[in-house]
Structure 1
Amino acid sequence: MQKLLYERFAAAMKGVCLRYCKTSFEAEDIMHDAFLKVFKNIDKFKGDCPLEGWVRRITINTALSHLRSRLHKTEASETDELIEIAEPETTFSAFAAEELMELVRSLPPKYQAVFNLQAIEGYSYKEISEMLDVPEVTCRSHYMRARNMLREMVEKSNRIYHEKIS
């Protein structure tokens, strides 16, 4: 049963892990940890949600746990304020999904996690705040900063592209 479960969900869960780390190797490591938790707790699955959703939640929580431990090792505690920034229109649609995910992976880990949880996974700021154990205002600030950083990276890429073809 474990083999079937792994074969069914491994590729999708590796994709989830890649959104929270920098390398494929790190993503595989997190994914394997997540599957160990899935196998250990499979008897607790009640069937009240899709199995893939349950596995995804465990995978996300494992990735966040890994991210938290990495952040605590490398960053001093900081206080973030919510900064209101007018959001000019930027077209991300010109980028291929893989190119955009590569840019997301290049974000600082704290911004990357909040961006992934909010924009891709669809969690609310309140839920993200609870998952990451940070104030909700910090989540909002990190999300806005991540969007701004991504916007700047896209605009820079567009400028470089247009300079090359000119």
Structure 2
Amino acid sequence: MIKTTSAELLPLLEGCARSDRKSQENLYRLFYSFAMGVCLRYCRNREEALEALNDGFLKVFNNISHFQPEKHEPVPSFVGYLKKILIHTAIDQYRSTIRTSQTVELEEHLVPAQDHTESPLDGLAYEDLIGLIRQLSPAYRAVFNLYAIDGYSHEEIARQLDISVGTSKSNLAKARLNLRELLKRSHEERYSKYA
């Protein structure tokens, strides 16, 4: 979690608006861990995540004068602003890589509807879940993160990723199935050591 106060953040934002390099460096350092966590959920590896993180911060620095923090909640409003930019930057990066590969859209009716009973992923440690998510294909990972973690609707995901709503739903269902299989394998590997 980000540990900063309005008294610390607001002068940094003002400095960044003046293109003060020291303020930019301090803001980057202050939010680096948070930003890297967001980017790692969308990217295949640390190098891609770092690229998305740096591109995202560059966008923040170039557009910081347009950001208007909420008076009573400047830290949470900046966190939301930064997170949105990072997600969109990672999605743009995903789009640029997906253009080089062939995509296949599936109709919604080809994937069986998932029941909404308790998931085998419930109760899994956050770090373990992120590790499993990073093993998904880029298409499944992007949809899963946007829907399950960041709360986007399938319509919003379809617009963001330039896919159909049916493809978004299909990719989410397949991501969940893949995560269940990865979790099962991880569980079996962990406990086979003790057999």
Fold conserved between structures, TM > 0.5: yes
**Hey, what's the Cα distance between the residues in 2 that align with 1:139 and 1:122?**
13
Deviation at 1:85, TM superposition (A): 4.2
Q: Matched residues, percent identical?
A: 38
Structure 1 residue 32 and structure 2 residue 54: aligned?
Answer: yes
Q: 1:86 to 1:34 in 2, by over 3 A?
A: closer
Corresponding residue of 2:184:
155
Name the SS for the 1:50 alignment partner: helix
Corresponding residue for 1:3? 25
Compute the RMSD of aligned alpha carbons: 1.8
Aligned match of 1:52: 79
Residue aligned with 1:19, SS: helix
* Distance (whole Å) between structure 2 residues aligned to residue 163 and residue 94 of structure 1: 21
Counterpart-to-counterpart distance in 2, 1:8 and 1:162: 39
Q: Which residue of 1 aligns with 2:39?
A: 17
Q: TM-score, normalised by structure 1?
A: 0.90
Output aligned runs, 1:4-153, within 5 Å: 4-47=26-69, 50-73=77-100, 75-82=101-108, 83-87=111-115, 89-93=118-122, 95-153=124-182
Q: Distance in 2 between matches of 1:57 and 1:156?
A: 33
Bigger relative contact order, structure 1 or 2, given CA contacts below 8 A and separation 6+? Answer: 1
Per the normalisation by structure 2, the TM-score is 0.77
SS in 1 for 2:106: coil
Q: Any gaps of 5 or more consecutive residues in structure 2?
A: 1-22, 71-75
Any conservation in 1 of the 2:52–2:90 contact (CA below 8 Å)? yes
Matched pairs, number: 165
**How far apart are 1:8 and its partner, in Å?**
2.4
The superposition leaves residues 60-105 of structure 1 with CA deviations (integer Å, 9 ceiling, x where unpaired) of 10000001111111x2131212211445754224543212211100
Q: CA deviation at 1:121?
A: 0.9
SS of 1:8's equivalent in the other structure is: helix
1:10 CA displacement? 1.7
Instruction: Give the partner amino acid of 2:30.
Output: R
- Give the Cα separation in 2 of the matches to 1:89 and 1:26: 33
Unaligned 5+ segments in structure 1 are: none
